[in-house]
Amino acid sequence: MTEQTPLNEETTWKAQEPPPSSWATGFILFAGVMMIMAGSFQAFSGLVALFENEFYVTTPNYLLQLDATSWGWIHLILGLLVVFAGFAVLNGMVWGRIIGVTLAVLSACANFAFIPYSPFWSTLIIAVDIFVIWALTAHGRDITR
């Protein structure tokens, strides 16, 4: 005679749960990779501003009067944080998703303020941040651990 194990509510609920869609998994994977890439590029941009002060031209009469060194530190720290959050998103951590959305919003705001210094680059990073925010909020729940 074989022994049967009783099913509790948790195992029956998980058995009925559909697997995550491949679209959602792909969007989250792409968002995590884009966070790592955008964070790396932003950190590199910060290093350029720190080591080569004359690379970014300051604009007169702009709302935020920060020098290149200040922008360099802002971009370096924010970029490294985005890279670490991107690795957490790739590992399926819920806290990585929350921090990833928060840092993507901060990154978009910082790059919006940085538009007069580097318009094309800032606009590109803002577009990537918007996609990351959308992917993490719309499909992030599908692959949490």
Residue 11 domain flag: no
Residue 95 domain flag: yes
Residue 17 domain flag: no
Residue 69 domain flag: yes
* Alpha carbons 32 and 136: distance in angstroms, whole number: 9
Residue 80 domain flag: yes
Residue 6 domain flag: no
Quick one: pLDDT at residue 93? 85
Q: Summarize the confidence of residues 124-135 as an average pLDDT.
A: 91
- By CB neighbour count within 10 A (0-12 exposed, 13-18 middle, 19+ buried), where does 65 fall? exposed
Structural domains in the chain (count):
1
Judge whether residue 18 has pLDDT over 80.
no
- Note the pTM of the prediction, 2 decimals: 0.77
Quick one: pLDDT at residue 117? 78
Residue 27 domain flag: no
Q: Summarize the confidence of residues 25-37 as an average pLDDT.
A: 88
Residue written as token pair 């530190």: 73
pLDDT-above-90 percentage for the chain: 32
Judge whether residue 10 has pLDDT over 70.
no
Judge whether residue 56 has pLDDT over 80.
no
Residue pLDDT, tens place only, 95-128: 888 999 999 999 999 888 888 878 888 899 899 9
Residue 12 domain flag: no
Q: Summarize the confidence of residues 18-23 as an average pLDDT.
A: 72
What is the domain range of residue 69? 37-52+64-143
Spatial contact of 125 and 46, defined as CB atoms under 8 Å apart = no
